[in-house]
Amino acid sequence: MKVVLLGSGNVATHLGVLLKKKGHTLLQLFNPTRKHATALARRLNCPLVTRVSAIDTTGDIYVLAIKDEAIGPLLKQLPFVPRMIVHTSGSVGLEVFGKNFSAFGVLYPLQTFSKLSPETPATIPFCIEANSRKSEQLLTRMARSLSPLVYKMTSEQRKSVHVAAVFANNFSNHMFTLSEKILTGKKLPFELMLPLIEETVERLKHARPARVQTGPARRGDLSILRAHLDWLRGDPELRDLYDRISKSIIAYYRKEK
């Protein structure tokens, strides 16, 4: 397909690389500034434009990988009606397209992307939604060319996926950051935790997370919990977080009984 990619951030970078790898033609890259976009356009070997009026109108699909707040305003500025246009956000609904477009949808890649990491993730599930049967067919074809994992869902379902992803990925990663802080405070390396983290994730391929929960809160070991809270007394924020999450685990399994 002939694709026009809008944006030059984390998602645009990895999606651009993937689109090229899977044989799509990148007609053009659009970005309002040249700051990061020049290097990406060079990498993708496609022309770069920075004015909305210069966007190529002959694309089969326009992929908007720009920050959430900018999607609506940019759509209002487009001086033509694209054959098909999609955004890549987990939280923005279809209503953002308004009434001016005939074929539109969402191509939400459920992965964590950073343009600082050179490798595009090997597996990217795509959550898709489209405004009509015809749009859905085109979008499904595009998504399936990029990944075997394609899920059709409503805007409401996609928002729940986004919230769930914040818990599964963003919060877990923050826990790793705090874990590292504790270790470096005692001159210990974070790599000590890597086998544990790997095993935690590996197990989830075969069992539901609630079934494999371990630790003092799961066991209801109050003396250890008290000792840990005492150890954390010098850092009230961390202590509070430890206490809240432990209470959440205890309450979850109490309800399960």
Ligand X SMILES: NC(=O)c1ccc[n+]([C@@H]2O[C@H](COP(=O)([O-])OP(=O)(O)OC[C@H]3O[C@@H](n4cnc5c(N)ncnc54)[C@H](OP(=O)(O)O)[C@@H]3O)[C@@H](O)[C@H]2O)c1
Query: What residue ranges bind ligand X (CB under 6 A)?
Result: 7-12, 31-33, 35-36, 65-68, 70, 74, 88-90, 108-109, 112-113
Nearest to ligand X by Cβ — which residue?
A: 9
Name which of 136, 122, 105 is nearest 21 in CA terms.
122
Distance in Å, CB of 3 to ligand X, minimum: 15
Q: How far is the CB of 174 from ligand X (least distance, A)?
A: 15
Nearest distance from C-beta of residue 239 to ligand X, angstroms? 30
Pick 35 or 206: Cβ nearer ligand X: 35
Tell me the two tokens of residue 55.
């966007």
Question: CB neighbours of 140 closer than 8 A, spacing ≥ 6?
Answer: 128, 150, 152
CB 120 within 8 A of CB 18: yes
- Find the shortest distance in angstroms from Cβ 78 to ligand X: 11
Q: How far is the CB of 253 from ligand X (least distance, A)?
A: 32
C-beta closer to ligand X: residue 66 or 142: 66
d(C-alpha 71, C-alpha 3), whole Å: 18
Closer of 33 and 223 to ligand X (Cβ): 33
Would the CA dihedral through 60, 33, 94, 126 be positive or negative?
A: positive
Q: Which of 32/216 has CB closer to ligand X?
A: 32
Extended strands (E) in 65-149: 85-87, 104-109, 126-130
In the bound state with ligand X, the residue whose beta carbon lies nearer, of 72 and 216, is 72
Q: Do 51 and 33 meet the contact criterion of CB atoms below 8 Å apart?
A: no
DSSP state of 171: I
Distance CA 150, CA 125 (A): 6
What is d(CA 246, CA 219) in angstroms, rounded to the nearest whole number?
11
In angstroms, give the least distance from the CB of 87 to ligand X: 6
Which residue number, 107 or 249, has a Cβ lying nearer to ligand X?
Answer: 107
Distance CA 94, CA 97 (A): 6
Q: Is 233 helix (H, G, I), strand (E, B) or coil?
A: coil
- State which residue, 120 or 213, has the beta carbon closest to ligand X: 120
Minimum CB–partner distance for residue 43 and ligand X (Å):
14
Alpha-carbon distance of 3 to 219, in angstroms, equals: 53
> What's the CA gap between 20 and 232, in Å, rounded?
50
